[in-house]
Amino acid sequence: MVTSATSESETPLLLSMRGVTKRFPGVVALQDVSLSLRRGEVLALMGENGAGKSTLMKILGGVQPADEGEIIVGGNSVALSNVKDSKAQGIALIHQELMLAPNLDIASNIFLGNEGAGGLLRPLARAKMEARASELVAQVGLTLPVTTPVSRLTAGQMQMVEIAKALSTKARIIIMDEPTSSLASAESEQLFEIIRRLKQTGIGIIYISHRMQEVMDLADRITVLRDGRYVGDLERAEASHDKVVAMMVGRALSSEYFPEKRAQTPSNVMLEVRELLVPGAPDPVSFSARQGEILGFAGLIGAGRTELMESIFGVTPARSGEMRLDGKGYHPARPRDAIAAGVYLAPEDRKRHGLVLNMTVAENTSLPNVASYAAFGWLNRKTEQQVAEEGVKRLRTKTPSIQQAVVNLSGGNQQKVVLAKWLAMAPKVLILDEPTRGIDVGAKAEIYRHMAELANQGITILMVSSDLEETIGMSDRVVVMHERRLKGVLERHELTQLAIAGLMTGQEYAAVHQAGGRKAAGEGELTVS
């Protein structure tokens, strides 16, 4: 499987990275990673969310220097300590969130930071820049005047401007981080065409994508990362969808890590979602969740899971469709409606949406319900403290006291405060978006145990998770989404990493499902047994 050393001598190496390590407080983002890129090659870099791809790219772009390891560009060992160094080595980084100034025109963006030699007060050579910019945009197939402001461009056109910008620096190595994630299919095709052309001029391209089909079409070679480590390389000839997925997810399931699943889930439906059209999604989705069930939502970042949850919680109300909660109609227009109905959301970004970091454990726990402890607007601190103490005891939150500011707690304990906040209000449905993100292993197991307990008490949990192991370990059933569509719902006996990873990278349900020989469910269709 690992063939990186075999054919390096054929074409000269543009770039090689050896033993690159990058640590962040509390986490090792990259551990001893190696990678090489030849002239005129498209190297796909693959891995799950959090595998370290973006960190690796930031190191190459000079945005975050590596802690250890060697980077060799064109035969020379180089230090990339800032963006300028990286540019000087002919490396151009195209970010997933495009890095353009919307208030400037195309030509200005292309030459931003690269206006030529001299001081800050030298005049801009507008005419020359515009002429050169016109040539560059023509190379990438844009037919717009280069004086068009970037704010008027589509995502695809902005991508082309980014590539033109890379070309303007005479980059020999272009890194693209999920370039198609915001593109329509026609725009993607155009991008692939340009990538093929760039290849022929000897430029090496590192292509990060989650879309297996694209990678199979474009890449000459695939490097796989997992958990910040290098897993291996595959030449295109030997690569297959299954093989790559297997390398991406390849760790063994540690079953004792997760609480044992119950023999069977209760059958009465708690939340039923019918033909719900989430703003921005192409198709409506339907599914249902039973009482006391943990329903997992798998998919890549951007698959539309968080948006779906926000519609169920009333943050961005659905455009059409129907929801029933515990047999009654449920149509939240704002989070208050959802909370009143007993549907609570623990958001993905705990620190931004879930907690007021500088408030205490007690204040955070009481926040959604503080009005009900207050008589005539006076806070009832006694009840507040009681509720907070109960929450701390119930979830075994490690905090010196309930008067501690949550900013001082660890990630796992912060998440427990979020849970406690909702548990104090007897939820019917609890939506947990990435419940264990950024939480260390020990605390994760504890959160899992609590989730299982809550489900046993009859609370329905919708769990969005990008961690396949967690999704399989915790869920009774799993809804898989891909590009804002519901790809399928997997029953408990169908839950394998391969099946989920296949669906979430765009395979059809029928392909994944054939082994079971059961009726293939169409999009949005759910087996309501």
Partner 1 sequence: MSLALLLMCIALWISNSDFLGASNVVNTTRQISMLGIFATGIAFVIITGGIDLSIGSVVGLTGVIIARLSSTQTGGLGYPLWVGISVALCAAVAVGLIQGLLITRLGLQPFIVTLGGMLLFRGVSQTIVDGGVISMGDSPLLNLASGGLLHVGRDPLFGWPLLIFGAVAALGAYVLHFTVLGRYIYAIGGNREAARYSGINVKRVELLTYVISSGTAGIAGICYAAYIGQMSQQVGVAYELYAIAAAVLGGCSLRGGEGTIFGVLIGASIMRVIDNGINMFQVQYTDQDGIRRIWRLNPNWNWIIVGAVILVAVILDQIVHMVQAARRLKETSARRPVAGPPSSSPPLPAKSGAA
Asked if 379 is part of the footprint of partner 1 (rule: CB under 8 A), the reply reads: no
Contacts of residues 123-132 at CB distance under 8 Å and 24 or more positions apart, as own/partner, are 132/168
The encoded tokens of residue 320 equal: 């059409």
Residue type at 417 in one-letter notation: V
Task: Pick the stretch among 150-158, 270-278, 471-479, 503-511 that binds partner 1 (CB under 8 A).
Answer: 150-158
Asked if 349 is part of the footprint of partner 1 (rule: CB under 8 A), the reply reads: no
Binder among 20, 45, 56, 93 for partner 1 (CB under 8 A):
93
Asked if 189 is part of the footprint of partner 1 (rule: CB under 8 A), the reply reads: yes
Asked if 152 is part of the footprint of partner 1 (rule: CB under 8 A), the reply reads: yes
**Identity of the residue, 114 or 456, whose beta carbon is nearer to partner 1 in the bound complex:** 114
- What is the C-alpha to C-alpha distance for residues 198 and 205, in angstroms, rounded to an integer? 8
Please, which residues bridge with residue 70 across strands?
A: 18
| DSSP H/E element including 61 | none
Using CB under 8 A, which residues numbered 227 to 266 contact partner 1? none
- What is the C-alpha to C-alpha distance for residues 502 and 515, in angstroms, rounded to an integer? 13
Q: Are 233 and 3 in contact (CB under 8 A)?
A: yes
Residue type at 59 in one-letter notation: I
Asked if 197 is part of the footprint of partner 1 (rule: CB under 8 A), the reply reads: no
Neighbours of 25 (CB within 10 A): 4
Asked if 118 is part of the footprint of partner 1 (rule: CB under 8 A), the reply reads: yes
The encoded tokens of residue 434 equal: 């990435």
Binder among 76, 185, 320, 529 for partner 1 (CB under 8 A):
185
Asked if 187 is part of the footprint of partner 1 (rule: CB under 8 A), the reply reads: yes
Using CB under 8 A, which residues numbered 394 to 413 contact partner 1? none
- What is the C-alpha to C-alpha distance for residues 73 and 79, in angstroms, rounded to an integer? 10
The encoded tokens of residue 235 equal: 């030449």
Binder among 3, 77, 81, 82 for partner 1 (CB under 8 A):
82
Strands across the sheet with 68-73, in order?
27-38, 13-24, 68-73, 76-78
Asked if 21 is part of the footprint of partner 1 (rule: CB under 8 A), the reply reads: no
CB of 117 to partner 1, least distance (A): 10
Asked if 83 is part of the footprint of partner 1 (rule: CB under 8 A), the reply reads: yes
**Identity of the residue, 129 or 462, whose beta carbon is nearer to partner 1 in the bound complex:** 129
Backbone phi and psi for residue 271, each to the nearest 5 degrees, phi listed first: -125, 125
**Identity of the residue, 62 or 342, whose beta carbon is nearer to partner 1 in the bound complex:** 62
Asked if 126 is part of the footprint of partner 1 (rule: CB under 8 A), the reply reads: yes
**3-class DSSP state for residue 51?**
coil
CB of 217 to partner 1, least distance (A): 14
Asked if 108 is part of the footprint of partner 1 (rule: CB under 8 A), the reply reads: yes
CB of 286 to partner 1, least distance (A): 18
Give me the half-sphere count of Cα atoms (radius 13 Å) on the Cβ side of residue 8: 14
Task: Pick the stretch among 8-16, 108-116, 310-318, 518-526 that binds partner 1 (CB under 8 A).
Answer: 108-116
Q: Is the dihedral of CA 450, 456, 460, 462 positive or negative?
A: positive
Find the distance separating the first CA and the last CA of the chain, reported in whole Å: 43
Asked if 190 is part of the footprint of partner 1 (rule: CB under 8 A), the reply reads: yes
CB of 246 to partner 1, least distance (A): 29
The burial of 113, by beta-carbon neighbours within 10 Å (0-12 exposed, 13-18 middle, 19 or more buried), is given as exposed
Asked if 177 is part of the footprint of partner 1 (rule: CB under 8 A), the reply reads: no
Supply angle C-alpha 262, 265, 268, rounded to 5.
160
Binder among 1, 2, 99, 340 for partner 1 (CB under 8 A):
99
Please, which residues bridge with residue 345 across strands?
A: 431
Binder among 61, 292, 391, 473 for partner 1 (CB under 8 A):
61
CB of 307 to partner 1, least distance (A): 15
Count of residues near partner 1 by CB under 8 A:
43
**Identity of the residue, 63 or 520, whose beta carbon is nearer to partner 1 in the bound complex:** 63
Site of interaction with partner 1 (CB under 8 A): 61, 63, 82-84, 87, 93, 95, 99-104, 108, 112-115, 118-124, 126, 141, 143-144, 148, 152-154, 156-157, 184-187, 189-190, 282
